Amino acid sequence: MRAKTFLVDSYQRTIRDLRISVTDRCNFRCLYCLPETEAAANFYRSRWNQNPGIPIHHQWKPKHEILSFEEIERTAQIAVACGIEKIRLTGGEPLLRQNIATLIQKLARIPGIRDLAMTTNGFLFPKYAIELREAGLHRVSFSLDSFDKDNFKRLTGVQGLAKVTRSVQLAKELGFDPIKVNAVIIRDINDHEIEGLCQYALDEQISVRFIEFMPLDSSKAWQNEHVFSGNKILARLQKKFDLTPTQSANASETAKRWQINGAKGEVGIIAPVTEPFCGHCNRLRLTSDGQIRTCLFSLHEHDLKPLLRGKASDEDIAAHLQSIVYKKEAGHKIGREDFVQPTRTMSCIGG
């Protein structure tokens, strides 16, 4: 490709961060994402008098609709030539994608990527950890919403706490740095675990991010009352820990961050519902079936497959990406009367 053609939207935000979902499939059924377990149905029904429907089996995308590694690599190369510096692989569960290390190897070779990361539920991590490291993955974030094995099962549908904590240990041993755990906090489900999760991160010298529950679950059961706000999370943490705010050089950072008593890791709070950070958003998403999304809450997607599978040149695709990005939404509308939840769920979009 020739001269750099940056991805800039009509609000002058330059896009630097690309989230690539490599599969829509998942081996977990998180209550806030794919609430398709009896525990999830019971939770929404009993506490909130809601019935998100009987558990259903998600319809995964057929294989021919899923981008090949070559298609993902090409898109990433073009995006990097347009100024993307960070790539995060996500899903569904990215470790369910066969030979994922091969894709990482391809992406790690692209000059210009400063940061190559993955978000995973960690269940399969021990099986692939060494391959991932050798392939060139820089960082890994694990989703860990509970430190109590029964609550973990209720939240994820899987008895997997020991596996995930083992994965965190292994990631440390293999030198992934920084390591983060992400915890989605839901009122009356795991808000009592905020301090414990923070203490775990402190003890392990890793970082923890607390995330507000967003309306992106497959059953559309989300209600504002389920949200345990970033402010409340902070207030709870401040009662137990000595937190010093960390200044970020990066305005597009989603998390507000704090240091705890000189510990290695940090605490971050991501509050997209109560404190939207859309004004500084520098993200773009590519779904596993080749749709470009300019916002988690976009109601429209842009299919790259016809270009990738047709005769479009890299320049054509770069120009297409630019025109899509230019129309990036000002921000999401959660909490407003005109908010519409996207049809696709977090597991399909890629968090």
* Contact residues: ligand SAM, CB under 6 A: 26, 32-33, 90-91, 93, 119-121, 143, 182, 184, 211, 213-214, 216-217, 346-347, 351
Q: Which one of ligand SF4, ligand SAM, none interacts with residue 34, CB within 5 to 8 A by kind? A: ligand SF4
- Please identify, using beta-carbon distances, which residue of 33 and 194 lies nearer to ligand SAM: 33
How would you label 189-222 residue by residue, b for 16+ Cβ within 10 Å and e otherwise? bbeebbeebbbbbbebebbbbbbbbbbbbbbebb
Q: In the window 327-346, what residues touch ligand SF4 (CB under 6 A)? A: 346
CA gap 149, 37 in Å, rounded: 16
Q: In the window 21-80, what residues touch ligand SF4 (CB under 6 A)? A: 26, 28-30, 33-34
Q: In the window 147-186, what residues touch ligand SF4 (CB under 6 A)? A: none
- Please identify, using beta-carbon distances, which residue of 82 and 346 lies nearer to ligand SF4: 346
Q: Does 121 bind ligand SF4 (CB under 6 A)?
A: yes
Query: Would you tell me how many other CB atoms lie within 10 Å of the CB of residue 14?
Result: 14
Q: In the window 88-107, what residues touch ligand SF4 (CB under 6 A)? A: 91-93
CA angle, 67 then 174 then 103, to 5° = 15
User: Within the chain, where are the H helices?
Assistant: 38-48, 69-81, 100-108, 125-135, 149-156, 161-173, 194-204, 230-240, 305-309, 314-326, 346-349
Residue whose Cβ sits closest to ligand SAM: 351
To ligand SAM, the closest distance from the beta carbon of 309 in angstroms equals 26
Q: Which one of ligand SAM, ligand SF4, none interacts with residue 234, CB within 5 to 8 A by kind? A: none
To ligand SF4, the closest distance from the beta carbon of 30 in angstroms equals 3
- Please identify, using beta-carbon distances, which residue of 227 and 325 lies nearer to ligand SF4: 227
CA gap 305, 62 in Å, rounded: 14
Q: Which amino acid is at 256?
A: K
Q: Does 347 bind ligand SF4 (CB under 6 A)?
A: yes
Closest by CA position to 37, among listed 223, 189, 194: 189
- Please identify, using beta-carbon distances, which residue of 78 and 100 lies nearer to ligand SAM: 100
- Please identify, using beta-carbon distances, which residue of 118 and 318 lies nearer to ligand SAM: 118
- Please identify, using beta-carbon distances, which residue of 29 and 328 lies nearer to ligand SF4: 29
Query: Would you tell me how many other CB atoms lie within 10 Å of the CB of residue 157?
Result: 22
CA gap 288, 25 in Å, rounded: 10
CA gap 209, 324 in Å, rounded: 30
230 touches 213 (CB < 8 A): no
Q: Does 122 bind ligand SF4 (CB under 6 A)?
A: no
Sequence-separated (6 or more) residues with CB below 8 Å from residue 39: 31, 153, 154, 157
- Please identify, using beta-carbon distances, which residue of 15 and 334 lies nearer to ligand SAM: 334
CA gap 143, 54 in Å, rounded: 25
329 touches 298 (CB < 8 A): yes
- Please identify, using beta-carbon distances, which residue of 26 and 292 lies nearer to ligand SF4: 26
Q: Which one of ligand SAM, ligand SF4, none interacts with residue 216, CB within 5 to 8 A by kind? A: ligand SAM
To ligand SF4, the closest distance from the beta carbon of 182 in angstroms equals 9
Q: Where on the chain is the footprint of ligand SF4 (CB under 6 A)? A: 26, 28-30, 33-34, 91-93, 121, 143, 346-347
